[in-house]
Amino acid sequence: MKHSACVPLLVALVACGRAAPRLTLLEGAAMGTTFCVQVVDLPAALDARALRARVDEVLAGIDRTMSTWDPASELSRFNASDSLDWFEVSSGTLTVVAEAQRIGRLTGGAFDVTIGPLVELWGFGPPEPRGRPTPEALAGVRGAVGFEKLELRATPPALRKRDPALRVDLSAIAKGFAVDEVVRLLEAQGACDFLVEVGGELGARGRNPAGAPWHVAVEHPPPAQGVAPCRVALVDCAVATSGDYARFFEQDGVRYTHVIDPRSGLPVQTGVASATVLSASAMEADALATALMVLSPDEGLRLAAREALAVRLLVRVEGGFDERRSLSFPAREP
């Protein structure tokens, strides 16, 4: 998560006629990315400005704890420490790390939040000079990567390193957690119909202003051709997409993307251009979408079949993309 300051308050109220539903739109920046919240018919007791302040606080709280770009965040302080003692963390951080470890086990280590040293070495984290590292530098950090080297304690919530060089990077899962947290906030405030987006990950409840399910377009990797646009209806669920085009650099004609295979230490070369996951939990969808960039398309679809996951992959093939959907992913709309 790249840190950036919140933009000034921007609240737009769109009145759609007397009896028509009212849409409240909250937009801004947080967690190094942007967010957008749309609420249909805000409960009368809920003021848009007050809601905006609460959404800002939820997202700022996640940044304060889980950002790897803010050296003062809880996670950055854990990463900087070389102690092998328990390090107390917020319950939110523990929730996210526990889910990350579950997805790590589920994917046979394809998803691994101890990827931090490799992310930094390849230049996709702070301080960020990008370039292919030397084999010696790679060998030097690979020993510090492995989710089994990270221990969790529930009460009081704490993390413990088994290797002093261990560094945790929650960038692949924290945006999804943020969506779930804003969804929980809105539900607790009595809102029923809304769409939440943080950095491209989405969660929805109820209906859109037209009274239909929220429909969202799945981001397409450039060039935007060769595959029909994919739209999905979000009925009380979430969707997340990962792509090899989001952050990458090219060197000697090779594309190095920001998703790294923890088993090789190298940016992924699976041919998966984008992976989309639908799930009740945006946190789960976010982590699985990243993991599906690491697994080969066949491995990913086998995992989806075994776990009944709703997955859509776009695989790079000569001249375009091959689209592959798991059985649980909605069929293409006519």
Among 73, 76, 93, 171, binds ligand AMP (CB under 6 A): 171
Q: Which residues lie closer than 8 Å to 142 by C-beta, 6 or more apart?
A: 118, 265
- 124 scored as a contact of ligand AMP (CB under 6 A): yes
Residues 93-112 that bind ligand AMP (CB under 6 A): 111-112
- 115 scored as a contact of ligand AMP (CB under 6 A): yes
Taking the CA atoms of residue 51, residue 52, residue 58 and residue 63 in that order, the dihedral angle to the nearest 10 degrees is: 180
| Smallest separation (angstroms) from ligand AMP to the CB of 112 | 5
- 205 scored as a contact of ligand AMP (CB under 6 A): no
- 282 scored as a contact of ligand AMP (CB under 6 A): no
Question: How far apart are the C-alpha atoms of 324 and 284, rounded to whole Å?
Answer: 20
- 59 scored as a contact of ligand AMP (CB under 6 A): no
Two tokens, residue 203: 């969660």
- 65 scored as a contact of ligand AMP (CB under 6 A): no
DSSP 110-141: SS-GGGHHHHHHTTSSTT---SPPPHHHHHHH
- 180 scored as a contact of ligand AMP (CB under 6 A): no
Two tokens, residue 156: 């009081």
- 117 scored as a contact of ligand AMP (CB under 6 A): no
Would you call 63 helix, strand, or coil by DSSP? helix
Question: How far apart are the C-alpha atoms of 36 and 21, rounded to whole Å?
Answer: 18
- 281 scored as a contact of ligand AMP (CB under 6 A): no
Task: Report yes or no: 117 and 99 within 8 Å, Cβ to Cβ.
Answer: no
| Smallest separation (angstroms) from ligand AMP to the CB of 124 | 5
Which among 284, 247, 241 has a CA at the least distance from the CA of 267? 247
Residues of the shown chain interacting with Mg ion in the complex, contacts defined by CB under 5 A: 172, 242, 286, 289-290
Segment lying near ligand AMP (by CB under 6 A), choices 51-59, 69-77, 256-264, 316-324:
256-264
- 195 scored as a contact of ligand AMP (CB under 6 A): no
Provide the binding-site residues for ligand AMP, judged by CB under 6 A.
111-113, 115, 119, 124-125, 169, 171-172, 242, 246, 258-260, 262, 286, 290, 294
